[in-house]
Structure 1
């Protein structure tokens, strides 16, 4: 099997495909413009906003995790033996 032109160091300058059309280098494919492609980014001055939403998200994660573990314990054999006669 013969290596492709790109692996031989051609870098994309050779014709590619059955019709001999050059597609372009990586990330810069020549051809029709794509529709419906959306890219998002964050501005450098918005990086500080993470201090507003990260702590509540982390706290919420740990609260939900605690509640799930507590529920598993209360519905286990040991939890039923400890709290079986009580209603919480």
Structure 2
């Protein structure tokens, strides 16, 4: 190596040497190159993953609602029949 080092030279990038000039570096971000690369593929699989993890939270209430609705319709049909009227009169 040429030159003598007398103690602390400075932190990285500031070592006391002459400033570099004429070196210009440009680069483009990987996000700016293809901003929508893989968006459709990721949307399909991400949506499937998110929906499948939440399926129990909307299938169970829909099933309960369907059961209650079916039972209520059957009970209503029974009460509007001749046997239902007779049963209702005995309760009153």
TM-score (norm 2): 0.45
Q: Where is the helix percentage greater, Structure 1 or Structure 2?
A: 2
The two structures have a TM-score, normalised by structure 1, of 0.47
